[in-house]
Chains A and B, each alone.
Chain A
Amino acid sequence: MPFYFKKGCSFIALSMLLIGSVSIAVKAKTLTIVDQHGRPVELAVIELLQPVKNDKPLQVAVMDQVNKQFEPKLLTIVKGQQVAFPNSDDIRHHVYSFSPIKPFELKLYAGTPKAPLTFEQSGVVVLGCNIHDSMVGYIYVAQSEAHFLTDVQGKVVLPDNTSSYLLWHPEQDKELGERSEHIWPQDNSHSKVEIELVTPAPRNTFGEMFKDSHGN
Protein backbone atom coordinates (compact mmCIF):
# COMPACT_ATOMS: atom_id res chain seq x y z
CA MET A 1 0.00 0.00 0.00
CA PRO A 2 2.72 2.55 0.79
CA PHE A 3 4.17 1.65 -2.56
CA TYR A 4 0.94 2.57 -4.35
CA PHE A 5 0.63 5.71 -2.33
CA LYS A 6 4.08 6.77 -3.34
CA LYS A 7 3.35 6.06 -6.96
CA GLY A 8 0.12 8.01 -6.71
CA CYS A 9 2.01 10.94 -5.21
CA SER A 10 4.61 11.06 -7.93
CA PHE A 11 1.84 10.88 -10.51
CA ILE A 12 0.15 13.89 -8.96
CA ALA A 13 3.47 15.72 -8.75
CA LEU A 14 4.11 15.04 -12.44
CA SER A 15 0.63 16.21 -13.38
CA MET A 16 1.14 19.42 -11.45
CA LEU A 17 4.41 19.96 -13.19
CA LEU A 18 2.73 19.50 -16.56
CA ILE A 19 -0.09 21.84 -15.66
CA GLY A 20 2.51 24.33 -14.54
CA SER A 21 4.33 24.25 -17.83
CA VAL A 22 1.08 24.43 -19.80
CA SER A 23 0.00 27.49 -17.88
CA ILE A 24 3.35 29.12 -18.66
CA ALA A 25 2.80 28.50 -22.36
CA VAL A 26 -0.75 29.87 -22.20
CA LYS A 27 0.40 32.93 -20.34
CA ALA A 28 1.04 35.05 -23.39
CA LYS A 29 -0.44 38.03 -25.10
CA THR A 30 -2.64 37.87 -28.17
CA LEU A 31 -2.67 40.71 -30.63
CA THR A 32 -5.22 41.03 -33.42
CA ILE A 33 -4.70 43.37 -36.36
CA VAL A 34 -7.70 44.49 -38.40
CA ASP A 35 -8.07 46.90 -41.30
CA GLN A 36 -10.35 49.96 -41.51
CA HIS A 37 -13.26 47.65 -42.43
CA GLY A 38 -12.65 45.39 -39.44
CA ARG A 39 -11.25 42.58 -41.59
CA PRO A 40 -8.33 40.56 -40.21
CA VAL A 41 -4.94 41.57 -41.61
CA GLU A 42 -2.58 38.74 -42.46
CA LEU A 43 1.21 39.18 -42.79
CA ALA A 44 1.53 42.18 -40.53
CA VAL A 45 4.98 42.24 -38.92
CA ILE A 46 5.19 42.79 -35.18
CA GLU A 47 8.65 43.52 -33.84
CA LEU A 48 9.22 43.78 -30.11
CA LEU A 49 11.18 46.76 -28.91
CA GLN A 50 12.87 44.77 -26.14
CA PRO A 51 15.95 43.41 -27.85
CA VAL A 52 16.49 39.66 -27.69
CA LYS A 53 19.96 38.25 -27.55
CA ASN A 54 20.64 35.82 -30.34
CA ASP A 55 23.26 33.14 -29.89
CA LYS A 56 22.18 30.94 -32.78
CA PRO A 57 24.12 31.21 -36.02
CA LEU A 58 22.06 32.94 -38.70
CA GLN A 59 20.83 30.66 -41.45
CA VAL A 60 20.81 31.78 -45.07
CA ALA A 61 17.20 32.77 -45.79
CA VAL A 62 15.64 32.16 -49.21
CA MET A 63 13.65 34.44 -51.49
CA ASP A 64 12.75 32.29 -54.47
CA GLN A 65 11.17 33.19 -57.83
CA VAL A 66 8.30 30.84 -58.62
CA ASN A 67 5.74 31.30 -61.42
CA LYS A 68 6.75 34.93 -61.85
CA GLN A 69 6.16 35.68 -58.18
CA PHE A 70 8.41 36.16 -55.19
CA GLU A 71 8.15 33.20 -52.84
CA PRO A 72 7.55 34.07 -50.06
CA LYS A 73 5.93 37.40 -50.81
CA LEU A 74 7.21 38.65 -47.45
CA LEU A 75 10.39 37.35 -45.90
CA THR A 76 11.39 38.33 -42.37
CA ILE A 77 15.02 38.13 -41.37
CA VAL A 78 17.36 39.54 -38.75
CA LYS A 79 19.94 42.17 -39.58
CA GLY A 80 23.23 40.63 -40.60
CA GLN A 81 21.42 37.67 -42.10
CA GLN A 82 22.05 36.52 -45.67
CA VAL A 83 19.39 35.93 -48.28
CA ALA A 84 19.78 33.66 -51.30
CA PHE A 85 17.83 34.46 -54.47
CA PRO A 86 17.41 31.24 -56.40
CA ASN A 87 15.28 31.16 -59.55
CA SER A 88 12.94 28.19 -59.71
CA ASP A 89 11.42 29.47 -62.95
CA ASP A 90 12.80 28.38 -66.31
CA ILE A 91 12.91 31.97 -67.50
CA ARG A 92 15.14 34.86 -66.45
CA HIS A 93 14.34 37.43 -63.79
CA HIS A 94 15.98 40.73 -63.02
CA VAL A 95 15.44 41.45 -59.34
CA TYR A 96 16.08 44.92 -57.97
CA SER A 97 15.67 46.99 -54.83
CA PHE A 98 15.70 50.77 -54.64
CA SER A 99 15.25 50.69 -50.86
CA PRO A 100 17.83 52.88 -49.09
CA ILE A 101 18.83 50.19 -46.58
CA LYS A 102 19.81 47.78 -49.39
CA PRO A 103 19.77 48.89 -53.02
CA PHE A 104 20.85 46.15 -55.43
CA GLU A 105 20.10 44.39 -58.68
CA LEU A 106 20.52 40.76 -59.56
CA LYS A 107 20.18 39.30 -63.03
CA LEU A 108 18.91 35.80 -62.44
CA TYR A 109 19.22 33.56 -65.45
CA ALA A 110 17.81 30.06 -65.17
CA GLY A 111 20.39 27.66 -63.78
CA THR A 112 23.01 30.30 -62.88
CA PRO A 113 22.80 30.97 -59.15
CA LYS A 114 24.11 34.18 -57.61
CA ALA A 115 25.85 34.46 -54.23
CA PRO A 116 23.55 35.34 -51.29
CA LEU A 117 23.31 38.98 -50.22
CA THR A 118 23.82 40.20 -46.66
CA PHE A 119 21.33 42.64 -45.16
CA GLU A 120 23.24 44.67 -42.57
CA GLN A 121 20.66 47.32 -41.75
CA SER A 122 17.24 46.86 -40.22
CA GLY A 123 14.17 48.14 -42.02
CA VAL A 124 12.10 47.31 -45.07
CA VAL A 125 13.34 46.30 -48.53
CA VAL A 126 10.93 46.28 -51.46
CA LEU A 127 11.75 43.92 -54.30
CA GLY A 128 10.71 44.15 -57.92
CA CYS A 129 11.61 42.52 -61.22
CA ASN A 130 12.55 44.75 -64.14
CA ILE A 131 11.11 42.29 -66.60
CA HIS A 132 7.94 41.22 -64.78
CA ASP A 133 6.39 44.20 -63.14
CA SER A 134 3.69 42.02 -61.57
CA MET A 135 6.36 40.72 -59.18
CA VAL A 136 6.48 42.53 -55.85
CA GLY A 137 8.14 41.18 -52.74
CA TYR A 138 9.31 42.41 -49.36
CA ILE A 139 12.13 41.65 -46.99
CA TYR A 140 11.60 42.87 -43.44
CA VAL A 141 14.95 43.13 -41.68
CA ALA A 142 14.36 43.03 -37.92
CA GLN A 143 16.74 44.12 -35.15
CA SER A 144 16.43 40.76 -33.41
CA GLU A 145 14.65 37.42 -33.45
CA ALA A 146 11.80 39.00 -31.52
CA HIS A 147 9.54 39.50 -34.54
CA PHE A 148 6.29 37.82 -35.49
CA LEU A 149 3.74 37.64 -38.30
CA THR A 150 -0.03 37.74 -38.01
CA ASP A 151 -1.91 34.71 -39.33
CA VAL A 152 -4.97 34.60 -41.64
CA GLN A 153 -7.14 35.62 -38.71
CA GLY A 154 -4.95 38.66 -38.14
CA LYS A 155 -3.73 37.14 -34.87
CA VAL A 156 -0.32 36.72 -33.36
CA VAL A 157 0.74 35.38 -29.97
CA LEU A 158 3.39 37.49 -28.30
CA PRO A 159 5.56 36.83 -25.23
CA ASP A 160 4.07 37.82 -21.93
CA ASN A 161 6.72 40.46 -21.31
CA THR A 162 5.73 42.40 -24.42
CA SER A 163 5.43 46.05 -23.45
CA SER A 164 5.86 47.86 -26.75
CA TYR A 165 6.27 46.89 -30.37
CA LEU A 166 6.63 48.11 -33.93
CA LEU A 167 3.93 47.34 -36.48
CA TRP A 168 4.33 47.22 -40.25
CA HIS A 169 2.35 45.94 -43.22
CA PRO A 170 3.23 46.06 -46.96
CA GLU A 171 -0.11 47.67 -47.87
CA GLN A 172 -0.29 50.17 -45.02
CA ASP A 173 -1.42 53.72 -45.83
CA LYS A 174 1.95 55.19 -44.81
CA GLU A 175 5.42 55.61 -46.20
CA LEU A 176 6.45 52.14 -47.22
CA GLY A 177 9.26 51.69 -44.72
CA GLU A 178 7.51 53.46 -41.85
CA ARG A 179 6.77 51.40 -38.76
CA SER A 180 4.31 52.56 -36.14
CA GLU A 181 5.16 52.16 -32.48
CA HIS A 182 2.59 50.79 -30.06
CA ILE A 183 2.45 50.40 -26.29
CA TRP A 184 0.79 47.28 -24.96
CA PRO A 185 -2.33 48.25 -22.89
CA GLN A 186 -1.59 47.52 -19.24
CA ASP A 187 -3.19 44.49 -17.56
CA ASN A 188 -4.57 43.17 -20.82
CA SER A 189 -3.81 39.80 -22.34
CA HIS A 190 -5.55 40.76 -25.61
CA SER A 191 -5.20 43.81 -27.77
CA LYS A 192 -6.78 44.78 -31.09
CA VAL A 193 -5.21 47.35 -33.36
CA GLU A 194 -6.72 48.82 -36.50
CA ILE A 195 -4.53 49.86 -39.38
CA GLU A 196 -5.46 51.60 -42.61
CA LEU A 197 -4.64 49.60 -45.74
CA VAL A 198 -4.63 50.83 -49.32
CA THR A 199 -5.09 48.89 -52.55
CA PRO A 200 -1.68 48.55 -54.19
CA ALA A 201 -1.18 50.71 -57.30
CA PRO A 202 -1.76 48.93 -60.62
CA ARG A 203 1.37 47.42 -62.14
CA ASN A 204 2.94 48.43 -65.44
CA THR A 205 2.19 45.13 -67.19
CA PHE A 206 0.54 43.96 -70.40
CA GLY A 207 -1.96 42.17 -68.15
CA GLU A 208 -2.94 45.43 -66.47
CA MET A 209 -2.86 47.51 -69.68
CA PHE A 210 -5.05 45.09 -71.63
CA LYS A 211 -7.20 43.65 -68.86
CA ASP A 212 -10.36 44.81 -70.64
CA SER A 213 -9.44 42.49 -73.53
CA HIS A 214 -8.55 39.51 -71.39
CA GLY A 215 -10.10 39.90 -67.95
CA ASN A 216 -7.93 39.00 -65.04
Chain B
Amino acid sequence: MSLVARCQKVAIALSVMITVSGCQSTPTSLYHQVGEQAGLERLTDAFINQIGQDKVVFHYFKQTNVSHFRTGFISHMCAVLDGPCQYQGDNMVQIHTGMNISEYDFNHTVDLLIAAMNEVGISHPVQNKVLAKLAPMRRNIIKI
Protein backbone atom coordinates (compact mmCIF):
# COMPACT_ATOMS: atom_id res chain seq x y z
CA MET B 1 0.00 0.00 0.00
CA SER B 2 1.36 3.37 -0.97
CA LEU B 3 1.89 6.02 1.61
CA VAL B 4 -0.87 8.14 0.05
CA ALA B 5 -3.34 5.28 0.16
CA ARG B 6 -2.41 4.52 3.75
CA CYS B 7 -2.86 8.18 4.67
CA GLN B 8 -6.26 8.22 2.98
CA LYS B 9 -7.29 5.14 4.90
CA VAL B 10 -6.24 6.70 8.18
CA ALA B 11 -8.06 9.90 7.28
CA ILE B 12 -11.26 7.98 6.51
CA ALA B 13 -10.95 6.00 9.70
CA LEU B 14 -10.46 9.20 11.65
CA SER B 15 -13.42 10.92 10.06
CA VAL B 16 -15.58 7.88 10.75
CA MET B 17 -14.50 7.98 14.38
CA ILE B 18 -15.28 11.67 14.62
CA THR B 19 -18.67 11.20 12.97
CA VAL B 20 -19.51 8.32 15.27
CA SER B 21 -18.42 10.21 18.35
CA GLY B 22 -20.39 13.23 17.21
CA CYS B 23 -23.54 11.14 16.99
CA GLN B 24 -23.06 9.36 20.27
CA SER B 25 -20.64 10.73 22.80
CA THR B 26 -16.98 11.43 23.09
CA PRO B 27 -15.32 8.43 24.71
CA THR B 28 -14.35 10.61 27.63
CA SER B 29 -17.76 12.22 28.24
CA LEU B 30 -19.45 11.50 31.53
CA TYR B 31 -22.40 10.23 29.54
CA HIS B 32 -20.11 7.57 28.12
CA GLN B 33 -18.61 6.81 31.53
CA VAL B 34 -21.99 6.12 33.12
CA GLY B 35 -22.81 3.65 30.35
CA GLU B 36 -24.63 5.90 27.84
CA GLN B 37 -28.38 5.44 27.33
CA ALA B 38 -28.54 1.92 28.79
CA GLY B 39 -26.45 2.96 31.79
CA LEU B 40 -28.66 5.99 32.45
CA GLU B 41 -31.77 3.82 32.22
CA ARG B 42 -30.35 1.39 34.79
CA LEU B 43 -29.33 4.30 37.04
CA THR B 44 -32.74 5.98 36.75
CA ASP B 45 -34.60 2.76 37.52
CA ALA B 46 -32.40 2.24 40.58
CA PHE B 47 -33.04 5.85 41.64
CA ILE B 48 -36.82 5.41 41.20
CA ASN B 49 -36.60 2.32 43.37
CA GLN B 50 -34.59 4.16 46.02
CA ILE B 51 -37.21 6.93 46.13
CA GLY B 52 -40.01 4.37 46.17
CA GLN B 53 -38.59 2.65 49.27
CA ASP B 54 -37.78 5.89 51.07
CA LYS B 55 -39.82 7.37 53.89
CA VAL B 56 -38.38 10.89 53.93
CA VAL B 57 -38.96 12.21 50.40
CA PHE B 58 -41.52 9.76 49.01
CA HIS B 59 -44.36 12.20 49.61
CA TYR B 60 -42.94 14.57 46.99
CA PHE B 61 -43.23 11.80 44.40
CA LYS B 62 -46.33 9.91 45.49
CA GLN B 63 -48.64 11.25 42.77
CA THR B 64 -45.94 11.69 40.16
CA ASN B 65 -46.24 9.86 36.87
CA VAL B 66 -43.36 7.35 36.97
CA SER B 67 -42.89 7.19 33.16
CA HIS B 68 -42.91 10.98 32.87
CA PHE B 69 -40.28 11.25 35.62
CA ARG B 70 -38.18 8.43 34.13
CA THR B 71 -38.14 9.89 30.60
CA GLY B 72 -37.42 13.40 31.85
CA PHE B 73 -34.70 12.33 34.29
CA ILE B 74 -32.88 10.21 31.68
CA SER B 75 -33.03 12.97 29.07
CA HIS B 76 -31.93 15.64 31.53
CA MET B 77 -29.00 13.55 32.81
CA CYS B 78 -27.98 12.73 29.25
CA ALA B 79 -27.83 16.44 28.39
CA VAL B 80 -26.10 17.46 31.62
CA LEU B 81 -23.47 14.71 31.28
CA ASP B 82 -22.62 15.89 27.73
CA GLY B 83 -24.49 13.13 25.96
CA PRO B 84 -26.22 13.54 22.58
CA CYS B 85 -29.57 14.66 24.02
CA GLN B 86 -31.46 17.89 24.04
CA TYR B 87 -33.47 18.11 27.22
CA GLN B 88 -36.84 19.61 26.35
CA GLY B 89 -38.65 19.29 29.65
CA ASP B 90 -39.35 22.05 32.14
CA ASN B 91 -36.32 23.58 33.82
CA MET B 92 -35.34 22.88 37.41
CA VAL B 93 -36.98 26.07 38.71
CA GLN B 94 -40.28 25.35 36.96
CA ILE B 95 -40.28 21.79 38.25
CA HIS B 96 -39.49 22.54 41.87
CA THR B 97 -41.31 25.84 42.42
CA GLY B 98 -43.87 25.52 45.17
CA MET B 99 -42.38 22.35 46.63
CA ASN B 100 -40.38 24.33 49.21
CA ILE B 101 -37.78 21.56 49.45
CA SER B 102 -35.62 21.81 52.56
CA GLU B 103 -31.84 21.38 52.50
CA TYR B 104 -32.28 18.24 54.52
CA ASP B 105 -34.67 16.69 51.99
CA PHE B 106 -32.46 17.81 49.09
CA ASN B 107 -29.36 16.25 50.66
CA HIS B 108 -31.30 13.12 51.44
CA THR B 109 -32.34 12.81 47.78
CA VAL B 110 -28.70 13.22 46.72
CA ASP B 111 -27.90 10.33 49.07
CA LEU B 112 -30.56 8.26 47.31
CA LEU B 113 -28.96 9.06 43.95
CA ILE B 114 -25.54 8.04 45.32
CA ALA B 115 -27.04 4.78 46.59
CA ALA B 116 -28.47 4.22 43.11
CA MET B 117 -25.09 4.92 41.49
CA ASN B 118 -23.47 2.41 43.88
CA GLU B 119 -26.16 -0.11 43.05
CA VAL B 120 -25.48 0.02 39.31
CA GLY B 121 -21.71 -0.04 39.80
CA ILE B 122 -20.67 3.46 38.80
CA SER B 123 -17.15 4.02 40.16
CA HIS B 124 -16.61 6.59 42.89
CA PRO B 125 -14.44 8.91 40.76
CA VAL B 126 -17.19 8.98 38.10
CA GLN B 127 -19.83 9.49 40.79
CA ASN B 128 -17.95 12.52 42.03
CA LYS B 129 -17.80 13.99 38.55
CA VAL B 130 -21.53 13.41 38.08
CA LEU B 131 -22.31 15.08 41.40
CA ALA B 132 -20.06 18.02 40.50
CA LYS B 133 -22.13 18.50 37.32
CA LEU B 134 -25.39 18.37 39.25
CA ALA B 135 -24.28 20.50 42.21
CA PRO B 136 -24.88 23.93 40.57
CA MET B 137 -28.56 23.03 40.17
CA ARG B 138 -29.04 22.96 43.91
CA ARG B 139 -29.96 26.64 44.12
CA ASN B 140 -32.62 26.11 41.43
CA ILE B 141 -34.23 23.31 43.39
CA ILE B 142 -34.32 24.03 47.11
CA LYS B 143 -36.48 26.50 49.04
CA ILE B 144 -38.53 27.69 46.08
Binding site for B on A (CB under 8 A): 68, 89-92, 107, 109-110, 129-135, 203-207, 209-210, 213-214
- A132 CA to B60 CA, complexed, in Å: 11
Chain A residues contacting B69 (CB-CB under 8 Å) are: 206
A209-B52, A210-B52, A214-B58 are contacts. A91–B68 as well, Cβ < 8 Å? no
Chain B residues contacting A210 (CB-CB under 8 Å) are: 52-53, 58
Contact of B97 among A90, A107, A133 (CB under 8 A): A90
Chain A residues contacting B94 (CB-CB under 8 Å) are: 92, 109
A206-B51, A209-B66 are contacts. A91–B97 as well, Cβ < 8 Å? yes
Binding site for A on B (CB under 8 A): 48, 51-53, 55, 58, 61-69, 90, 94-95, 97-100
Chain B residues contacting A107 (CB-CB under 8 Å) are: 90
Besides the known contacts A109-B94, A134-B62, A209-B66, 8 further A-B residue pairs in the complex with CB atoms under 8 A apart? A91-B97, A91-B98, A92-B95, A133-B68, A135-B63, A204-B67, A205-B62, A206-B51
- A109 CA to B90 CA, complexed, in Å: 10
Chain A residues contacting B64 (CB-CB under 8 Å) are: 131-133, 205-206
- The 3 A-B pairs with the shortest beta carbon distances in the complex, nearest first, are A90-B98, A210-B52, A133-B65
Q: For residue A214, give the distance in angstroms from its CB to the closest CB of chain B.
A: 6
- A180 CA to B51 CA, complexed, in Å: 44
